[in-house]
């Protein structure tokens, strides 16, 4: 009797793990690839039939991630659910908890991050250095806050969308209109004269164990991540400070999974936490080739309750360059064969159906003995590739 | 008019590449992962619904790869077709050529390899050193050949299946019966007292360009690849000799794609070509983490007509250990979480539905400053994992 019970328990325990991802873009695609390597099945919820993670999903559920009924179509296909973006409606996500479907990061963590005013408040209360900020329910609150300032949407902003710089009072009305402040809750932040932007990926397990990737420098163009240099050329003290703040931030959120954190580095060497994404992040794509265990594999490990892998760099330097759409056109690039001629360039094409100006269509990572060498390799390949627009 | 023609040609040229793979096991899975990274769609033909490459295929065609009609169901889903194993019936494959569906390696290359007697003959005629061999249409041919000898099936043998050592005349009848020589064409080879076995992956492009991976040592257990050490601890002269012979062999076959070649290394340092697989190969799995461009990505590049990537090692040493089934049981392992605790172990679980004794269920790769270090890491992880059998 005891023996057959033991066998029963054993056979229950060794089924293939099933990961469900809410969202099916390139972040889901790279997460699914890591999950597949570890023998997981992957189910993905996405709005339309053709999406980047489609080819790597064992099951695709076509639906709306803000619709509780669609979330409940995905959930039974997975042992654990995770999100590809931070914009899923917390009210919709609540249905998962009510039906005992595990979700990591938790709905509580996501709610703390989604509202950027709430995020800033939580970080400030945790003693983390953030730019001065205030709620801006109406125009007067901005005037009282002072200028220059950055007016921001509290929700659904990314890649500079949802932000407007207000240098002086006479620019307020235009900014308010641009962000449609009468309909969307806004908040205001002090304009931060940063010297450069730093970022870091932190993965936190369900047991609270934390793995920190190297601190990197991000160079944005038109508010979109353009180049990531790993490691950032900063002092050991600055790198340690960023790492310490990042761990405190993810811990304050009770986060589980990989998180991307962006920092402002000021002229005096001090750093301010800018924002956090409760998910794998563009600034961590380099980890696929450059680190022992990528941000994607560690995210899978974290949400499935497995031990985390090592985040150490496998080369002295790595550079990632985003491949952004030049304009409308097909989702497949011109110039791929030429780019593949560049030795040491690791090329990722996301497989989106269409290109649009500024849309993230792929990326290139290169390793090197120095950042200059890695940058030259990555740029040589990236310069060959073009998505959409007039050739 | 000219302008719109040009635009038409352009838009035709930049569709997403579509790769079709005949066979859906772990080799197809890892090939599909490499293809997905480059933005390809992947269609797979496999016999049953659930197979390792299932989750990474954009399209799955369930059918028999020896059935021309099933091959013609796969072919329209792909721009280029390739094979996961060398056993597809050449008569069936002929239908692809008749219908102008590109196949790499070509049906001609596959036919030269599939019949091992023909393979040996071709290599001998090309001046490549191979063990002495002869056709063995009946028992007498073996007696005339002499002993000790190895009796082998001309077709459909792998991992030691289809081989029988015959040390003396009185062992011939048992070997003949074991291989069912009255029904399957056999040939005979001189027993080769090799000191160790070496292997190499060579990728050859459609333009004849060739990329050679490092020479590795393979340690077999029960005739199945068990451990691969990269690079092999051999003299530079031996490594150069193996590399030169491998290039000559793949060129003699007019091969396109990644090929795995196995060599016997004798006590006097000389090498003999043992056999070639016209596909990505178990002895090249280490290239995923250990080389700049893996055997899988280079196979995809070759069959799609793209430039090949660099095959250089990214670490001083790498070791791969196969995870073989201990017995019947589920396809998911016990001990995965413990194995994931080993820093630097890259764990691959193929996601087969069932384990069986000796079945390839996954593998572990580790890099290191030395082979000893890499072996210790890989073994520490592999020893945690168990597929099937009584715990």
pLDDT in tens, A340-360: 999 999 999 999 999 999 999
Interchain contact, B39 vs A336, CB within 8 Å: yes
Q: What is the pLDDT of residue A51?
A: 93
Distance of alpha carbon B108 from the chain centroid = 18
- Please say whether the beta carbons of A345 and A391 come within 8 A: no
Partnered with residue A270 across adjacent β-strands are none
CA distance to A220, B7, B48, B50, B299, per residue, from B25 (Å): 42, 40, 11, 10, 16
Q: Which of A162, A173, A180 is nearest to A139 (CA)?
A: A173
Q: What is the pLDDT of residue A4?
A: 37
Please tell me if residue A336 touches chain B, with a CB cutoff of 8 Å.
yes
Distance from CA of A34 to the nearest CA of B (A): 10
- Please say whether the beta carbons of B17 and B39 come within 8 A: yes
Interchain contact, B17 vs A332, CB within 8 Å: yes
Return the residue in A3, A13, A15, A16 with the most chain B beta carbons within 10 A, the one to mutate for interface testing: A16
CA distance B107 to B81: 11
Please tell me if residue A56 touches chain B, with a CB cutoff of 8 Å.
yes
**Token pair for B319:** 């070791």
CA distance B29 to B25: 6
CA distance A275 to A152: 12
CA distance A97 to A86: 17
B44 vs A contacts (CB less than 8 Å): none
Distance of alpha carbon B290 from the chain centroid = 17
CA distance B316 to A43: 38
- Could you tell me which chain B residue has the CA closest to the CA of A291? B344
The partner residue sitting opposite A55, judged by closest CB among B57, B337, B367, is B57
What is the third-level CATH fold of B2-103?
Rossmann fold (3.40.50)
The number of beta carbons lying within 10 Å of the beta carbon of residue A83 is 25
Q: What is the pLDDT of residue A99?
A: 96
- Could you tell me which chain B residue has the CA closest to the CA of A11? B330
Please tell me if residue B365 touches chain A, with a CB cutoff of 8 Å.
no
* Tens-place pLDDT, residues A59-104: 999 999 999 999 999 999 999 999 998 889 888 999 999 999 999 9
Distance from CA of A158 to the nearest CA of B (A): 25
Interchain contact, B39 vs A301, CB within 8 Å: no
- Output the CATH code of domain A196-382: 3.30.470.20
The larger pLDDT score, comparing residue B200 to residue A161, is at B200
Interchain contact, A39 vs B362, CB within 8 Å: yes
CA distance A71 to A139: 38
**ipTM attached to this prediction:** 0.93
Longest dimension (CA), chain A: 81
DSSP H helical ranges for chain A: 2-13, 26-37, 68-74, 90-98, 107-114, 116-125, 139-145, 172-178, 236-252, 287-290, 295-303, 336-340, 371-382
CA distance A364 to A347: 5
**Token pair for A137:** 């329910």
Please tell me if residue B42 touches chain A, with a CB cutoff of 8 Å.
yes
Q: Which of B130, B48, B41 is nearest to B79 (CA)?
A: B41
> What are the two backbone dihedrals, phi and then psi, of residue A307, each rounded to the nearest 5 degrees?
-65, 150
**Token pair for B124:** 């001998």
- Could you tell me which chain A residue has the CA closest to the CA of B316? A314
Dihedral of CA atoms B278, B279, B284, B288 in degrees, nearest 10, equals 160
CA angle, corner B175, sides to B89 and B191, nearest 5? 90
Helix-helix angle A90-98:A107-114, to 10 degrees: 170
DSSP H/E element including B37: helix B26-37
Interchain contact, A332 vs B307, CB within 8 Å: no
CA distance B103 to B106: 5
Interchain contact, A330 vs B39, CB within 8 Å: no
Interchain contact, B56 vs A36, CB within 8 Å: yes
The arithmetic mean of pLDDT across residues A5-11, rounded, is: 38
State the pLDDT confidence band at A11, using cuts at 50, 70 and 90: very low
CA distance A69 to A84: 18
A51 vs B contacts (CB less than 8 Å): none
Q: What is the pLDDT of residue A391?
A: 61
Positive or negative CA dihedral for A178, A184, A189, A193? negative
- Output the CATH code of domain B132-190: 3.30.1490.20
Interchain contact, B38 vs A349, CB within 8 Å: yes
Q: What is the pLDDT of residue B9?
A: 39
Distance of alpha carbon A104 from the chain centroid = 14
The partner residue sitting opposite A349, judged by closest CB among B39, B42, B367, is B39
CA distance B256 to A321: 31
Q: Which of B159, B191, B192, B166 is nearest to B181 (CA)?
A: B166
The partner residue sitting opposite A347, judged by closest CB among B17, B38, B340, is B38
CA distance A336 to B307: 10
CA distance B351 to B371: 28
- Please say whether the beta carbons of B212 and B178 come within 8 A: no
The number of beta carbons lying within 10 Å of the beta carbon of residue A118 is 15
B315 vs A contacts (CB less than 8 Å): 314
**DSSP designation for A55:** G
CA distance B124 to B118: 10
- Could you tell me which chain B residue has the CA closest to the CA of A369? B314
What ranges do the domains of chain B cover?
2-103, 132-190, 196-382
Please tell me if residue B307 touches chain A, with a CB cutoff of 8 Å.
yes
* Tens-place pLDDT, residues A356-382: 999 999 999 999 999 999 999 999 999
Please tell me if residue B268 touches chain A, with a CB cutoff of 8 Å.
no
Residues 6 or more apart whose Cβ sits within 8 Å of residue B198:
B215, B216, B217, B218, B232, B234, B238, B242, B262, B263, B264, B265, B271
Q: Is the bond preceding residue B125 a cis peptide, omega within 30 degrees?
A: no
Percent of chain A with pLDDT over 70: 96
Is the pLDDT assigned to residue A13 strictly greater than 60?
no
B337 vs A contacts (CB less than 8 Å): 305-307
Q: Give the A:B interface size as CB pairs under 8 Å.
A: 129
- Euclidean distance between the first and final Cα of chain A, in Å? 73
DSSP B143-197: HHH-SSEEEEESSS-BTTBTEEEE-SGGGHHHHHHHTTTTTS-EEEEE----SEE
Q: What is the pLDDT of residue A152?
A: 95
Longest dimension (CA), chain B: 81
The partner residue sitting opposite B331, judged by closest CB among A16, A29, A42, is A16
Q: Which of A40, A11, A37, A4 is nearest to B389 (CA)?
A: A11
Q: What is the pLDDT along chain B (391 residues), one digit of tens a residue?
A: 333 333 333 444 578 999 999 999 999 999 999 999 999 999 999 999 899 999 999 999 999 999 999 999 999 999 999 999 888 988 899 999 999 999 999 999 999 999 999 999 999 999 999 999 999 999 999 999 999 999 999 988 776 788 999 999 999 999 999 999 999 999 999 999 999 999 999 999 999 999 999 999 999 887 777 999 999 999 999 999 999 999 999 999 999 999 999 999 999 989 999 999 999 999 999 999 999 999 999 999 999 999 999 999 999 999 999 999 999 999 999 999 999 999 999 999 999 999 999 999 999 999 999 999 999 999 999 999 999 987 6
The partner residue sitting opposite B309, judged by closest CB among A41, A340, A391, is A340
Q: What is the pLDDT of residue B119?
A: 95
Radius of gyration, alpha carbons of chain B: 21
Q: What is the pLDDT of residue A5?
A: 37
Partnered with residue A118 across adjacent β-strands are none
Q: What is the pLDDT of residue B86?
A: 86
Please tell me if residue B242 touches chain A, with a CB cutoff of 8 Å.
no
CA distance B36 to A131: 41
The partner residue sitting opposite B16, judged by closest CB among A10, A29, A331, is A331
CA distance B254 to B105: 8
> Which residue is associated with the tokens 């703040």?
A245
Is the pLDDT assigned to residue A105 strictly greater than 90?
yes
């Amino acid at each position: 009797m005891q023996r057959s019970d033991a066998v029963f328990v054993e056979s229950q325990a060794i089924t293939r793990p099933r990961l469900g991802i809410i969202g099916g873009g390139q972040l889901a695609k790279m997460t699914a690839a890591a999950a597949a390597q570890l023998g997981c099945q992957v189910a993905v919820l996405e709005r339309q039939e053709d999406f980047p993670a489609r080819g790597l999903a064992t099951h695709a559920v076509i639906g709306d991630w803000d619709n509780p009924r669609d979330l409940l179509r995905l959930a039974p296909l997975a042992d654990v659910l995770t999100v590809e973006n931070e914009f899923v409606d917390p009210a919709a996500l609540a249905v998962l908890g009510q039906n005992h479907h595990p979700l990591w990061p938790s709905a509580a963590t996501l709610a703390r991050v989604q509202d950027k005013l709430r995020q800033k408040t939580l970080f400030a209360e945790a003693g983390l250095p953030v730019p001065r900020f205030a709620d801006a329910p109406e125009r007067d609150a901005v005037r009282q806050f002072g200028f220059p300032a950055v007016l921001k949407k509290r929700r659904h902003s990314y890649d500079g969308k949802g932000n407007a710089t207000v240098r002086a009072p006479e620019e307020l009305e235009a900014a308010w209109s641009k962000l449609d402040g009468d309909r969307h809750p806004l908040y205001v932040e002090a304009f931060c004269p940063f010297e450069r932007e730093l970022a870091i990926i932190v993965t936190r397990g369900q047991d609270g164990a934390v793995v920190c990737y190297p601190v990197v420098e991000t160079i944005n163009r038109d508010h979109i991540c353009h180049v990531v240099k790993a490691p950032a050329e900063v002092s050991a003290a600055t790198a340690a400070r960023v790492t310490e703040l990042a761990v405190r931030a993810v811990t304050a959120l009770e986060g589980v999974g990989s998180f991307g954190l962006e920092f402002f580095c000021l002229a005096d060497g001090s750093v301010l936490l800018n924002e956090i994404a409760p998910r794998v992040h563009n600034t961590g794509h380099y980890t696929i080739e450059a680190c022992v265990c990528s941000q994607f594999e560690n995210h899978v490990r974290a949400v499935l309750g497995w031990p985390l892998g090592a985040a150490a760099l496998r080369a002295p330097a790595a550079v990632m360059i985003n491949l952004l759409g030049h304009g409308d056109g097909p989702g497949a690039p011109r110039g791929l064969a030429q780019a593949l001629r560049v030795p040491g360039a690791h090329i990722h094409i996301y497989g989106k159906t269409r290109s649009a100006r500024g849309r993230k269509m792929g990326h290139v990572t290169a390793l090197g003995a120095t950042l200059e060498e890695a940058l030259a390799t990555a740029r040589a390949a990236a310069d060959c590739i073009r998505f959409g627009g007039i050739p």
